[in-house]
Amino acid sequence: MSRLTGWWSGRSSAAKVELYTRWTFHLFILLEVTGVGFVPLTSHAHGDLGTGPALAVALLVVVLAALCGLLSSRAIDWQLDRRERPVRLMAVVAGLTAVGALTLITLQSTRTLTDPGVAGAVVVGSSAFTLGSVALCIRSTRQMAGTVLVASLGSGLAALVLGLDWPQVLAYPLGVALSGGSLVAACGFSGWLLRTVWELERSRDLKARLAVAEERLRFGRDLHDVMGRNLSVIALKSELAVQLARRGRPEAAVDQMTEVQRIAQESQREVRDVVRGYREADLRVELEGARGVLAAAGITCAMDPAGIELPGEVQSALGWVVREATTNVLRHGDARQCLISLREEDGAVLLVVENDGVGDPADPADQSPARRPGSGLAGLRERLAAVGGTLEAAPETGGRFRVTARVSLTGGLLDAEGSVPEPVPPGIADAVGAVPSARKENVS
């Protein structure tokens, strides 16, 4: 069953709306063929026209229905800026519809077709479906209304010129205006809805990328402010020490190198402060931030935060779990609901972040990003391990994904001073002499 539904559940919200809209317009082809194309084949119309003309009119309706379906498909691509506007195809469909309508009105005026309902049904029906397809090729509401007005007035004028009775002259523009106007409104709204949904999808992805880029920029700016001046002074004093040594003044060169050593140690301390400040996260702030970000992305966020007093290092580690899990909800899957709960259980604090929209874990064909292990989750495991905690992240049944962080409140891994050791990225570790096992944190 999961393989049958994977083609749908694996799509984003915008892709689902687009697929639904496309198949709706494909269904219009069937509706036009069955609702309009069979009218010339009725017994009365068949008796008036004969077998050959009746089949010709029915075939004309079938061709128009197919062309309208093709025009709708290409118009949707144009609405989403994937191809050029199908102007030629639109002109062909409109011209063929006008020729067919004029032919049927002529047959009615010459009494070749005695039943006015047959000609009216074919003319009004085919005109309405054509106007709906043409509306998808237009973005201006005024132009859509003008198209309906031209089509209705044109049918009335043709009936008047060909000498039909006044009731029939009035019936044609009224029927085209009502049926065509309804389809034009529906199709025009569908085009606007598709553009809006895809724009929201792109905005949500852009928001996630901008958040990551902003955080990286902030860290780079802070690191540059700390290291830029000190490295310039170190380079200058090192060059001065070399020159002094070459000129036979070793005592002065030693003094300069002693100053270089002092500046390097000071830089080491400042960089550690920057890294420590960058890696600290307040759990309460992260929870409120997650609620706001998810709500802005259209995701319902339910929270159950327990009033538990936690040590600062535990709050920081859990805050990073909330931040990383929220980023994954925004960037991966197609979530509509998210639950964040914090509670105490068996002498440990338990943080759970659960969301929907990630596909069925029982389906081996589902390879959505939410199911793939990433460096972000690996980084969270290292953070939690530093405070004696664990992290579990796995898809659940029903298309849900759950991240569970557990930290024991009875004690963690502490250093000699009684504080949690702070991991340092390897690039910075090389500069400040940190331990080799430090890793680079994935800020996303």
Residue 87 lies in a domain: yes
Residue 260 lies in a domain: yes
Residue 210 lies in a domain: yes
Pick from 279, 314, 333: which residue ends a domain?
279
Number of domains in the chain: 3
The CATH number of whichever domain residue 393 belongs to comes to: 3.30.565.10
Residues ≥6 apart with Cβ < 8 Å to 212: 327, 443, 444
How high is the pLDDT of residue 444?
32
The CATH number of whichever domain residue 231 belongs to comes to: 1.20.5.1930
CB 244 within 8 A of CB 252: yes
Q: How many CA atoms lie within 13 A of 216 on its CB side?
A: 11
Edge-to-edge strands, sheet with 348-356: 300-305, 337-345, 348-356, 400-408, 389-396
Give the pLDDT confidence of 112-128 residue by residue, as tens digits. 777 777 888 889 999 99
Residue 5 lies in a domain: no
SS3 track for 84-132: CCCHHHHHHHHHHHHHHHHHHHHHHHCCCCCCHHHHHHHHHHHHHHHHH
How high is the pLDDT of residue 442?
34
Q: How many CB atoms lie within 10 A of CB 54?
A: 20
How high is the pLDDT of residue 165?
85
Query: 372 and 327, same structural domain?
Result: yes
Query: 224 and 123, same structural domain?
Result: no
CB 193 within 8 A of CB 173: no
Q: How many CB atoms lie within 10 A of CB 125?
A: 23
How high is the pLDDT of residue 91?
94
Query: 314 and 270, same structural domain?
Result: no
Residue 54 lies in a domain: yes
Query: 221 and 193, same structural domain?
Result: no
Domain containing 309 equals 283-413
Of 151, 101, 162, 149, which Cα lies nearest the Cα of 126? 101
Query: 96 and 23, same structural domain?
Result: yes
Pick from 189, 204, 219: which residue ends a domain?
204
How high is the pLDDT of residue 281?
64
Rounded to whole angstroms, how far apart are CA atoms 14 and 154? Answer: 38
Pick from 252, 279, 306: which residue ends a domain?
279
Query: 137 and 96, same structural domain?
Result: yes
Report the predicted TM-score, pTM, of the whole model to 2 decimal places: 0.56
Low-confidence ranges of the chain (pLDDT < 50): 1-2, 364-373, 412-444
Residue 443 lies in a domain: no
Look at strands 337-345 and 300-305 and give their pairing. parallel
Residue 171 lies in a domain: yes
Residue 420 lies in a domain: no
